[in-house]
């Protein structure tokens, strides 16, 4: 599972906070996700779809619009147009730091917003709407009685059971959106996803969007799903279809910042800075990719720490060594679990250490042997655990030689 990386950028009128879901390997494409009205980037559907796409190689930025979630600004001073501006700012941020988004994804009113923003982001090749209204004015029906807003210029309304301040300029702005013209002139492939049983935004909206748009366009029915895709299976299904559809319209991006993507020399493990995190590292070991980082606030917690990986190496080697020995002996070992911890202790507290002063590193390794083994077999397997190659390397004298790599190796 990917771990999101926090990112901050300037929006239409305030600092906006977003999350980047990055795949473990170099991204095959970059996408921008617009959440539903008042939902925020941490909405479960946004998170599930973003993570599912990241697991398929697509990096996704989702963020809080101005005045929502962690982002700065006054929600009452925003409107549909400012949301569109925020999306364009987010795309500019991706372009400047990584690669411009090739795909825009919008959920509910966010779908209407990505349709409006797409013409302002020239790199966009695909637009996806999920449960989106054909006209953004549809959202006014969610506000209840807007008479106080019209009469006084500003009032508190209830949206999804939560109070929000809304100004008349919001209503005026959303009423003047040329959405049908935008849809009819959209110069990108379109995927319309909608549940036939959506009780918030009727599926009739999907028909209008689809009929108005030019080809290439596709429609997918999210059968049985609710408006917010609150069921994990529905969100993952949407992500699967979305990722497959997007693969036709995106190619490997050229990034302005990112990991070294050529393979390391045979037998070498490469570690290179990767992604937006200050300390985030991409690890390339043969055909495998891992991510390393440090916990917040030092790092962005996008992956295990270097010491976590050291303990993982010891634990994996221990388990493999014990397994091979037990299989060779045909002993009834069903499963092995290795828990390891690393910390520093005073040398004087270590009876078996040769060092007498200062601090020493200590690793505690607990091995669980599951199966109907007798006492002698268990004792022997614990003895075998100390013979794993990584254990021996850690206990032996190690020589590490450091040199600067030739420049052409990293170009």
Same domain? For 277 and 322 the reply is no
Domain's final residue, options 288, 304, 320:
304
Tell me the three state secondary structure of residue 63: strand
What residue numbers bound the domain in which 276 lies?
268-304
Strand partners, 166: 155
Q: Which two tokens stand for residue 378?
A: 């268990």
- The alpha-carbon radius of gyration of the chain (Å, integer) is 27
Which of the listed ranges 10-19, 73-82, 337-346 does the model predict with the highest average pLDDT?
A: 337-346
- Ranking 146-155, 205-214, 399-408 by mean pLDDT, the lowest is 146-155
Same domain? For 318 and 210 the reply is no
Same domain? For 169 and 284 the reply is no
Same domain? For 51 and 169 the reply is yes
Instruction: In whole angstroms, give the CA distance from residue 92 to residue 89.
Output: 5
User: Is 259 within the bounds of a domain?
Assistant: no
Same domain? For 272 and 196 the reply is no
% of the chain residues with pLDDT over 70: 84
Instruction: In whole angstroms, give the CA distance from residue 205 to residue 187.
Output: 20
Instruction: In whole angstroms, give the CA distance from residue 19 to residue 64.
Output: 9
pLDDT at 2 over 60: no
What's residue 253's pLDDT? Answer: 43
User: Is 16 within the bounds of a domain?
Assistant: yes
Instruction: In whole angstroms, give the CA distance from residue 110 to residue 112.
Output: 5
Domain count, the chain: 3
Same domain? For 312 and 371 the reply is yes
Same domain? For 55 and 123 the reply is yes
- Ranking 26-30, 79-83, 406-410 by mean pLDDT, the lowest is 406-410
User: Is 255 within the bounds of a domain?
Assistant: no
pLDDT at 92 over 60: yes
Same domain? For 139 and 273 the reply is no
pLDDT at 148 over 80: no
Domain's final residue, options 246, 279, 295:
246
Q: Which of 133, 164, 166, 172 minimizes the C-alpha distance to 152?
A: 166
User: Is 260 within the bounds of a domain?
Assistant: no
Same domain? For 310 and 300 the reply is no
pLDDT at 10 over 90: no
- Please report which confidence band the pLDDT of residue 295 belongs to, taking 50, 70 and 90 as the band edges: confident
- Ranking 75-89, 212-226, 243-257, 263-277 by mean pLDDT, the lowest is 243-257
Q: State the CB neighbour count (10 A cutoff) for residue 299.
A: 18
Same domain? For 10 and 138 the reply is yes
Same domain? For 384 and 240 the reply is no
Which is more confidently placed, 344 or 328?
A: 328
User: Is 150 within the bounds of a domain?
Assistant: yes
User: Residue 159: which CATH number?
Assistant: 3.40.50.1820
Helices 168-175 and 80-97, packing angle to 10 deg: 80
Reported as a single tens digit per residue, the pLDDT across 196-249 is 999 888 899 999 999 999 999 999 999 999 988 888 888 889 988 988 888 887
Reported as a single tens digit per residue, the pLDDT across 315-328 is 999 999 999 999 99
User: Is 328 within the bounds of a domain?
Assistant: yes
User: Residue 407: which CATH number?
Assistant: 3.30.300.20
Tell me, rounded to whole angstroms, the distance of Cα 331 from its chain centroid.
Answer: 43
Judge if pTM exceeds 0.85: no
User: Is 86 within the bounds of a domain?
Assistant: yes
User: Is 201 within the bounds of a domain?
Assistant: yes
Same domain? For 15 and 127 the reply is yes
What's residue 153's pLDDT? Answer: 61
């Amino acid at each position: 599972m990917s771990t999101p990386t926090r990112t901050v950028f300037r929006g239409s009128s305030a600092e906006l906070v977003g999350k980047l879901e990055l795949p473990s390997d170099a991204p095959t494409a970059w996408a921008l996700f617009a959440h539903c009205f008042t939902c925020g980037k941490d909405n479960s559907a946004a998170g599930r779809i973003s993570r599912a796409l990241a697991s398929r190689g697509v990096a996704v930025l989702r963020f809080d619009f101005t005045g929502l979630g962690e982002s700065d600004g006054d929600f009452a001073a925003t409107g549909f147009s400012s949301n569109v501006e925020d999306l364009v700012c987010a795309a500019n941020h991706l372009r400047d730091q990584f690669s411009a988004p090739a795909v825009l994804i919008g959920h509910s009113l966010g779908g209407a917003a990505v349709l409006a923003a797409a013409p302002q982001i020239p790199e966009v090749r695909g637009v996806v709407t999920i449960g989106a209204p054909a006209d953004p004015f549809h959202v006014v029906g969610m506000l209840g009685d807007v008479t106080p807003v019209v009469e006084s210029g500003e009032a508190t309304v209830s949206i999804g059971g939560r109070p929000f301040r809304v100004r008349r300029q919001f209503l005026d702005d959303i009423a003047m959106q040329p959405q049908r013209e935008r849809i009819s002139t959209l110069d990108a492939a379109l995927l319309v996803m909608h549940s036939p049983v959506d009780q918030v935004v009727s599926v009739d909206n999907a028909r209008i969007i689809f009929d108005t748009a030019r080809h290439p366009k596709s429609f997918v029915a999210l059968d049985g799903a609710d408006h917010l895709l609150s069921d994990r299976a529905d969100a993952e299904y949407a992500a699967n279809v979305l990722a497959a559809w997007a693969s036709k319209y995106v190619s490997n991006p050229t990034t302005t910042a990112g990991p070294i993507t050529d393979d390391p020399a045979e037998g070498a493990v490469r570690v290179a800075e990767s992604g937006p995190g200050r300390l985030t590292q991409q690890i390339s070991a043969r055909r495998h990719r891992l991510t390393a980082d440090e916990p917040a606030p030092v790092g962005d917690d996008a992956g295990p720490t270097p010491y976590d990986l050291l303990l993982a190496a010891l634990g994996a080697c221990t388990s493999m060594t014990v397994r091979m020995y037990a299989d060779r002996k045909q002993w009834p070992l069903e499963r092995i679990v290795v828990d390891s911890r690393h910390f520093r202790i005073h040398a004087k507290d270590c009876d078996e250490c040769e060092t007498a002063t200062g601090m020493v590193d200590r690793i505690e390794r607990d091995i669980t042997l599951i199966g109907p083994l007798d006492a002698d077999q268990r004792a022997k397997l614990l003895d075998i655990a100390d013979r794993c190659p990584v254990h021996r390397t850690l206990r032996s004298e190690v020589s590490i030689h450091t040199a600067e790599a030739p420049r052409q190796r990293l170009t």
